[in-house]
Structures are given as C-alpha cells and as structure tokens.
Structure 1
Amino acid sequence: MTPHADIIDLAQRLIRCPSRAGIDDYGPVLGVLVDWLAERELPYRRLCGDQGAVVGLLIQITGSRPGPWWALDACVDTAPYGDEAAWTFPPDCGEVVDGWLRGRGAADSKLAAAMFCGIAAELHGRAGDLHGGLAVLLDVDEHTGGFGGARAYLADAEAVRPAGVMIGYPGLDEVVVGGRGLWRATIAVHAAAGHSGSRATTPGAVSRAAHLVRLLEEAELPDSDGEFPLPPKLTVTSCHGGQGFSVVPDLCELGVDVRTTPGFDAVDAERLVRGAVGELDVRVPVPRPTLITPVAAWPPYRLAGDQQPAAALLEAASREGLTVRPKTAGPSNIGNLLAGEGIPATAGFGVRYAGLHGVDERACLADLPAVHAVYRRAVLGLLGSSSPSSPSPGSP
C-alpha cells in the first residue's frame, strides 16, 4: 500500500468511528489509532486529563542529534452531526466518491491526523538523521473547547516542550499564522420578582438585560491598528431568563464573547463590559447589582513571516509549487492557547473541504499529495534532515 493510500485508509477507519465531542465514547476511535501505531511499532502513550479520562495520544520520535522539538497536532474528536436527515450520505460512511472523502471529521481533522501519523511512521525509520525530535498530538478533547489533549501534552513531565506546533486544520490557500484572542463572561442581571399583572412598574430582569444588550452593542470598539489586520468584536451570544407569562423575572443571564487584539486586549474587554454594566445599574437601579463572571481569556497572536514554524511551512508550500498566503484568523484556536504558553503555532493548512461543522462534510483527496509533501518537507527542514526534499516511497 502506498503512503497516500495508507493515509486514506486510516482516515476512513477513523471516520467510521463516531467521535462527536461530548456525545460519543472516544474508546473506539482511539483504538483504531492504537492498532495502527502498534502495527508500525511507533512509540506513543495516552494522555489523561484532570479527571483521569484519556484526552489524546502522543507520538514521540526522538532524533539521534541534539536540537529543538517540533509538534504536529490534529484532533480526532468532531463536531456533532446536526440534522442527519439533511445529509445526502451517512455522516459516518467514510466513503471516497469522485475524489472526495466523505463523513464527519473528514475535513476537521481526521484526514490530517492520519497524514501526521504517516509522517511519524516515516520519520521513525530515519531517526538517525534527525536533530531534536517530533511529537504528534492526536487530541480527543478539541471540539469541546477544553483543548484537554493540548493541555495534557504541555503538562506532561515526560514530554519535551515543543519549539513550535503545526495544527492540521484544512484549507489549501492559507497558512493561519495568527488569530484574535477572546474574553468571555456570563452576566447575571437581577431585578425584583413580581406578578406581571400587578400595578408595579419596576422593570424585570429580562427588560434590564435587554437594556444592557443595547449598551454593549452600541459600545465603541477601535478599528484594526494596522499591525494586526482584524479589529476587536463584541457579540452577545446567549440570553436566558424568565418562565411562563405571569411572573416578572428576577434573573436573566447573558453570555458575552469579545474577540480581542493586541491593541484591545482582555483587560480592555473587561473594562468595556464593566462600564456598560455600571451604566445599567445607574440608569435602571435595583437593590442587587449586576454580576459579571469571567469564563475564559486567551491572548491574540500573530507570527512574523520569518518566525518558525510558519516560515518553514510557507517555504515548503512555495517549493511544492503552491501559492499560499499567511492569514490571521477571526476565530480563536489552539494556537491562542499555545501563544499563552509562549509556543508559536500555525493553525491551518490542509486540503480543500466542504461542509465543515455542517452538512455533508468532505475533504478533497486530490490535494493530499501536495499537502502531505509540504508538511513532510517542513518537518524535515525543521529537524535538520540531510534530505528534506527527497520524496516518500510511493509518492507520485
């Protein structure tokens, strides 16, 4: 079996093991990976989270010469299926039709996981040529937003801390070299409870929350500052309060998501939200003040064009004849988590795709040889191999 056929076969088997975050048992999909790695005698171990559950597998290929370690990362848990009746094929079919690999996780990111396993298998056989080492993280706690696999990897005393990470999200035209950060909070808006038919005119918690939503959405945010290409953004993402029709609600909870930039960071985001809350409590006072509970904060990041591993990936793409541009993403990703740890990361270069997190997810296999060659070249260059440009056996 050629390397690309082996990669596709592994990806198909992974897709046929449903691994929806928070829904499916991850044991079967991890079992597929463990069997594949064991057959090739690749060194790996299980990573466990705070509660003791397995949150990922870590492959480690140790070179025979001193040097920094680098990491490849791909998740093997997935988004949910959504409305299965809207799919034109079973979400776990793993079929190849007209050159497209079909099924949930084909694009995000089981094909990338299989490809990274293939690169690890090749490098295991030539470790004597390598400086430093290569880690491959196969995460099953990514789509939860907890990023348990990445956190367990960084906390693992036996793992060498990587000098940089390349995350295998899909997309052929861009290497994601940065992303906006985030600051998230829940806001508990209070009021006095009562009967909706009473003579009292005190606004309920839902009405006060609606007023706060207006204050938040009307707040002025700065434009992009030129050095960072995207501006900050505030979104009220949830609103929960009240029950039935006869009660004036005494509590309404809002969810607020602020995407941050170097010029408008988490401190600025919290200050803005607290200012709006303070204005609400002055304009529409009630005995109990509005309560803000911060939930998460990640820093924005952006790698310079000559910073590794972005430079290696961009150069490798160019050498393979691809026109690829660096991109700063609007959504946050594991790269933000790594940036907070001082580890530079790319967060996207892969095959073309359709239906990611939606209906009829699929990945374009015609792109696999080029994408595989780019990652392989980049990794071998970073590890100081004497022959980074030599083709893999069986490569076209």
Structure 2
Amino acid sequence: MRDDLVARAAQQSASVIGLAQELIRRPSRGGIDNYTPVLTVLEGWLSGRALPHRRLLDDARQPVGLLVEIACSRPGPWWTLDACVDTASFGDESAWSFPPTSGDVQDGWLLGRGSADSKLAASAFCHIAADVRARAGTLSGGLAVLLDVDEHTGGFGGARAYLGDPDAARPAGVMIGYPGMDEVVVGGRGLWRAGISVYAPSGHSGSSRSAISAVSRAAHLVHLLDTADLPGPPRPGADFLLPPKLSVTAIHGGQGFSAVADRCDLNVDVRTTPAFDASDAETLVRKAVAELDAELPGPAPTRIEEIACWPPFQLRPDEQPAAALISAARSLGISVRTKTAGPSNIGNLLAGEDGIPATAGFGVPYEGLHGIDERAHLAELPQVYAVYHQAVLDLLGAS
C-alpha cells in the first residue's frame, strides 16, 4: 500500500502546487487583507470535488476559517489536519527579489508569502481529504481539515471557532502542517505575557524640581527583568530540553522633548516550561516590579495586566498522532527526529484549552519564513504528501 501512496502523491503533486499557487496569489496577511478571496478559491476547489465544508465564524460573524469534514463508515475517533491560509505581512517589499504574491515556480521553488507557512500544506491537506473521501467506506472515525485565516494575528480564531462548534466532532489529535523536513515537532514552550504600566509625576523637562520620568523608571525595570535569575538549560537526558526565556518585546512612553513622561508601557513575554510555569513567570515579574517600586517609588504602583497564558506541551514519540506521523515518515525512508520547539504554536492552545494532543510541524524544506523571499522547495512534496496520507490512513484504521 505504501508504494501505492507514493505513486498517488506523485500524481497529486501538480494539482497540489496549482491550488497553492492560486492561494499565494490572493494576499491574506493576518489583520491586513480581506480573507474572502483566499477562502473563495478554497471553497471553489472543495465544491468542485463535492467535499463537505463550511465557513467558521467568530463572535462578530466574520469568517475565521474553513472546516472540511469527511465522515467514515465505521465508528471511531476523528483526527484533524490543520494549516493556516493567512500569512505574515510582506515587510519591505522592495527587499524581495520577486513579488510577495508571485506564486511562480522557479528552479524547483514555489515563490511567495505563504508558500512555506502554510498554503502549500493547506492545499496538500485538501487533496488528502479528497483521497480519504474516496475510500471512507473502509475507514473508521473521520478526518477534519481546518483551514485557519486568523492564525498570524495570534488570535487563532479559526481553531477557537472549530473547538467551540457544537456540531464539530472533537478531534482525538491534530497534525499542524508547518514546514521543515528533518523534524516532527511534538511540543513547544508555553508562554505567559503581560502588559506593564509604569508611572511617574508629570512635569516640564526643564523644571528645577528633580523628577524621574516614567521612561527612566521603565528602563530600570527592563534592567531588572533582563538580569532576573532564570533557570538554566536542563541537564542532558531531561524530558523537556529547553530552558525558560524572558523578553521585553515593546516599550512605549513619552512624547516630544519638553514633557516628563508620566506613563510608560512595556510588553513582557516569558516562555515557560514544565519546570518553570506561568505561576513562576508571574512571580518573577512581580518580584522585579516590587523592586522597582521600592527603589524608585512612583505616584502609583506599577500595574501588571496578564495578556495571555498557555502551558507548554510535549508528546511522547509513542503518543498519537505523533507516533503515526513518525512511523509513516520512517516507513517511507525519511529519517526524522522529534523536536520541542522554542516558539509556541496552536499546539499550546489545543493542549491548554482542550487537552488535545498535536504535532506542530513536518513539511517541505523552506526559506524566508516570515522574512523576505519566502519560498518552499517542491522536490520533497510527494514524500511529505505520502507521509501525511499514510499517517491519516493509519489513524483511521486502514487495513
């Protein structure tokens, strides 16, 4: 059967690339572009193959994704393939060597924003859904394909709408189609994010009265946070091999030259691990804030507002759906290793809100993801397609 899947993947490649090209040529930058054009391309393709699908809407009745649902004839768990079809912004378009919405194939590379993250994967997953539909009478459970258009905003509206949909079957596991050929991503650090507001007396910068500005107080807080005592790298052989990390990612305060800033706002991002969780992150930040207010008192206590909190997650290699993906890759001669990623991803959302296991990456080689000249290498597409196809069939009980 595996030889048949490899042959099928080769047959499907041209169609997969063609649909991906159409998607890339419809700009869908998160929070910038209208998503209707890219959703319409997908809906046209799915309708042309009689694949059941529906739009997912947020609380404001705005589209945040598409959901494809393939029910099999025998009872069993549902599994989900997930890929985003919104993208990062283009950045400095003059720095690109081709248009960000090119969609052309050049020297074996698919060019354009979203080629790697993740319109090629979205196209492949739609084709796999069609292949599964053709043999659903011999399979158990069901396959959902989630095509999210609210991923790069950080809102993950498509995933949230899917998980909150009473008509959708709860998935037993999710495979997210981020690119990268050498690794199956089975986990990620969590995060604890907060906005911090630092205060100071307002006044004229030329006044004879001595007053430290909110910007200066905030700068001192940045120093306290940057030098805070975080646990170091775990010892070799530990289950979770990444250390926690704290970053001050934004600072805003003051205007002009003659006014002493009376407020300065900071964004703090802490990446968490099982050994240093959200509670530890909050304790560390509150300790630094307490030191600031004691050493350089202001007219009001420094305020901390939690913005987001996701737990770390990590699947064992023998836990589904990681086991099926790893087994499929190795059975097709692809050497893969498992990886726990530093950045967080939808897998954290799934783990934190619903306890749903997820893989968060296996796909074609790529360059320029979120940067200039994003492109995806196509020579490996048949192998990647066959791996996901095989993994899905294994999970659906194909014999």
* TM-score exceeds 0.5: yes
Where in structure 2 are the equivalents of 1:330-341 lying within 5 Å? Answer: 330-340=342-352, 341=354
Is the counterpart of residue 288 in structure 1 residue 318 in structure 2? no
Q: Find the counterpart in structure 2 of residue 135 from structure 1.
A: 144
Which amino acid is 1:260 matched to?
Answer: T
Deviation at 1:227, TM superposition (A): 2.1
Is the counterpart of residue 175 in structure 1 residue 188 in structure 2? no
Where in structure 2 are the equivalents of 1:46-85 lying within 5 Å? Answer: 46-85=55-94
Q: Give the Cα separation in 1 of the matches to 2:31 and 2:283.
A: 33
Deviation at 1:3, TM superposition (A): 1.2
- Which of 381, 384, 388 is the matching residue for 1:371? 384
Q: Give the Cα separation in 2 of the matches to 1:255 and 1:123.
A: 45
Q: Deviations over 1:42-80 (max 9, x none)?
A: 001110012110100000000111111100000000011
Q: Give the Cα separation in 1 of the matches to 2:241 and 2:206.
A: 52
Where in structure 2 are the equivalents of 1:287-366 lying within 5 Å? Answer: 287-340=299-352, 341-366=354-379
Is the counterpart of residue 262 in structure 1 residue 274 in structure 2? yes
Is the counterpart of residue 208 in structure 1 residue 220 in structure 2? no
Deviation at 1:190, TM superposition (A): 0.1
Q: Find the counterpart in structure 1 of residue 52 from structure 2.
A: 43
Q: Deviations over 1:294-342 (max 9, x none)?
A: 1000000000110000010011100010110000000000000001110
Deviation at 1:97, TM superposition (A): 0.8
Residue identity over aligned pairs, in percent, reads 68
Q: Give the Cα separation in 2 of the matches to 1:314 and 1:224.
A: 26
Q: Deviations over 1:80-113 (max 9, x none)?
A: 1111111111111100111111111000000000
Q: Give the Cα separation in 2 of the matches to 1:266 and 1:44.
A: 37
Deviation at 1:202, TM superposition (A): 2.1
SS at match of 1:237: strand
Q: Give the Cα separation in 1 of the matches to 2:59 and 2:118.
A: 24
Deviation at 1:346, TM superposition (A): 0.2
Q: Comparing 43-52 with 224-233, which one deviates more in the overlay?
A: 224-233
SS at match of 1:289: coil
Q: Give the Cα separation in 1 of the matches to 2:26 and 2:225.
A: 43
SS at match of 2:379: helix
Q: Find the counterpart in structure 2 of residue 193 from structure 1.
A: 202
Q: Give the Cα separation in 2 of the matches to 1:90 and 1:239.
A: 33
Q: Flag the 1:85–1:181 CA change in 2: closer, same or farther, 3 A.
A: same
Query: TM-score, with normalisation over the residues of structure 2?
Result: 0.96
Is the counterpart of residue 166 in structure 1 residue 179 in structure 2? no
Is the counterpart of residue 235 in structure 1 residue 247 in structure 2? yes
Q: Find the counterpart in structure 2 of residue 274 from structure 1.
A: 286
Q: Give the Cα separation in 2 of the matches to 1:66 and 1:13.
A: 36
SS at match of 1:363: strand
Q: Deviations over 1:232-284 (max 9, x none)?
A: 00000011001111111100000000000011111110111011101111111
Which amino acid is 1:378 matched to?
Answer: A
Which amino acid is 2:133 matched to?
Answer: H
Q: Find the counterpart in structure 2 of residue 394 from structure 1.
A: none
Deviation at 1:186, TM superposition (A): 0.5
Q: Give the Cα separation in 2 of the matches to 1:202 and 1:367.
A: 62
Q: Give the Cα separation in 2 of the matches to 1:274 and 1:365.
A: 49
Q: Find the counterpart in structure 2 of residue 117 from structure 1.
A: 126
Which amino acid is 1:22 matched to?
Answer: G
Deviation at 1:125, TM superposition (A): 1.1
Q: Find the counterpart in structure 2 of residue 392 from structure 1.
A: none
Please, which runs of 5 or more residues in structure 2 have no aligned partner?
A: 1-9
SS at match of 1:67: strand
Is the counterpart of residue 251 in structure 1 residue 260 in structure 2? no
Deviation at 1:195, TM superposition (A): 0.9
Q: Give the Cα separation in 2 of the matches to 1:352 and 1:50.
A: 36
Q: Find the counterpart in structure 2 of residue 13 from structure 1.
A: 22
Q: Give the Cα separation in 2 of the matches to 1:257 and 1:192.
A: 27
Q: Give the Cα separation in 2 of the matches to 1:245 and 1:144.
A: 34
Which amino acid is 2:254 matched to?
Answer: G
Please, which runs of 5 or more residues in structure 1 have no aligned partner?
A: 387-396
Deviation at 1:22, TM superposition (A): 1.1
SS at match of 1:60: strand
Q: Give the Cα separation in 2 of the matches to 1:287 and 1:33.
A: 55
Q: Give the Cα separation in 2 of the matches to 1:163 and 1:2.
A: 30
SS at match of 1:143: coil
Which amino acid is 2:326 matched to?
Answer: L
Q: Give the Cα separation in 2 of the matches to 1:66 and 1:363.
A: 37
4+ runs of 1 displaced by more than 3 Å?
none
Deviation at 1:351, TM superposition (A): 0.0
